[in-house]
Structure 1
Amino acid sequence: MQSFVQRMIGAAKLDVPTYEEVEHDSGATGQAAIVVVLAAIATGIGAMAGGSIKLFLFAAIAALLGWLIWAAIIWVVGTKLLPEAQTEADLGQLLRTLGFAASPGLLRIFGFLPVIGGLVFLVVNIWMLVTMVIAVRQALDYNSTWRAVGVCLIGWLVQLLILGLLGGAASLGMSGAPGAPAV
């Protein structure tokens, strides 16, 4: 069995056996959550180019909520709408594989760097998209990487819609509340 750090490195390196290991290790859910928390903190720090703690908190919380929402959406789409014959997965398996797929997100901490910060975020986001596809393919026992890409694309679009609705509702609630400060 790999150590926590070895699992993070293996996931970042797209190592299929690492994804299989965390998928089947129900005790790794906490580790996956730690990866997401660390990546969320790194995202928050990297997004603080303007120095705003509010931006840090927003980015970190959005990353955590995104993981939970993403896993739930992927589970529904991947197991109910677009399963392959051998697909069998529970939400825990997706939380674990998707959590470790967030490992490259730790590099987002460098997003605050002048000139290259935006490039860091772009490269890491693309890298994480690839790790997410591998995580989904392995957790859902897909033979087809393209099916995993499709499930990720559908999941991403649904997640953006949900987060947009939540963000819109939150801003309406803040601006419409009596005594609420103007944003």
Structure 2
Amino acid sequence: MTSFFNRIVLSARLNPGIYEEVEADRSAMGQAIAVVILSSVAAGIGSLRYVGTSGLVLGTLSALLGWFIWAGITYFVGTRLLPVPETRADYSELLRTIGFASSPGIIRILGFVPGLMNTVFFVAGIWMLLAMVIAVRQALDYQSTWRAVGVCLIGWIIQAVVIALFFNFAGISPVEQGAV
């Protein structure tokens, strides 16, 4: 079995084998949670001058909530709307693989360097999306990367609508809160 640190590195390198390993390792849930926390804390530190300490705490909590929601949406879309005959997955498998797909987000800690935050966060976002596609492809046993892209895209749209509705009902501008 691969060490926690090596799992982070291999998942950030977009190694499909590590996502298969994490999917099969039921004891990796704690590690997946740790990766999501590390990634969100890194984002908080990287944007500390803009969001402050409370933003760091709220950002970490919202990242964990977002991870659960994203995995649930992905599970539903991938297993109910776009399954293939080989699709055999449960919610916890997606939580583990998607959790490790957050590993590239750890580089967001570099956002604290003056003038780098937007670039670092953009690169991390694209990198995390690529990792997410691989995680979904492996967890849902897809042969097609495009099917995984479709699941991620549908899930992202649904999540964006839910977040927008939440901010609308709460009377908060998502742009002012940094959510968009």
Taking structure 2 as the reference length, the TM-score comes to 0.91
Equivalent residue runs for 1:107-126 within 5 Å = 107-126=107-126
Equivalent residue runs for 1:50-61 within 5 Å = 50=50, 52-61=52-61
* Distance in 2, Cα, partners of 1:7 & 1:52: 30
Q: Partner amino acid for 1:7?
A: R
Unaligned residue ranges in structure 1 (runs of 5+) = 173-183
- Deviation of the 1:4 alpha carbon: 0.5
SS in 2 for 1:83: coil
Indicate if the aligned counterparts of 1:44 and 1:58 stay in contact, CA closer than 8 A: no
Q: 1:51 to 1:74 in 2, by over 3 A?
A: closer
Residue in 1 that maps onto 2:139 = 139
Indicate if the aligned counterparts of 1:47 and 1:59 stay in contact, CA closer than 8 A: no
Equivalent residue runs for 1:82-93 within 5 Å = 82-93=82-93
Q: Partner amino acid for 1:57?
A: V
Give the number of equivalent residue pairs. 172
Superposed CA RMSD: 1.3
Residue in 2 that maps onto 1:179 = none
- Deviation of the 1:65 alpha carbon: 1.4
Unaligned residue ranges in structure 2 (runs of 5+) = 173-180
Indicate if the aligned counterparts of 1:38 and 1:106 stay in contact, CA closer than 8 A: yes
- Deviation of the 1:51 alpha carbon: 5.5
Residue in 2 that maps onto 1:148 = 148
Q: Deviations over 1:60-83 (max 9, x none)?
A: 222111111100000000000000
Pair member with larger Rg: 1
* Distance in 1, Cα, partners of 2:42 & 2:100: 15
Q: Deviations over 1:32-57 (max 9, x none)?
A: 00100111111111122326223323
Q: Partner amino acid for 1:95?
A: L
Taking structure 1 as the reference length, the TM-score comes to 0.89
Residue in 1 that maps onto 2:46 = 46
User: Are 1:75 and 2:79 matched, yes or no?
Assistant: no
* Distance in 1, Cα, partners of 2:143 & 2:51: 45
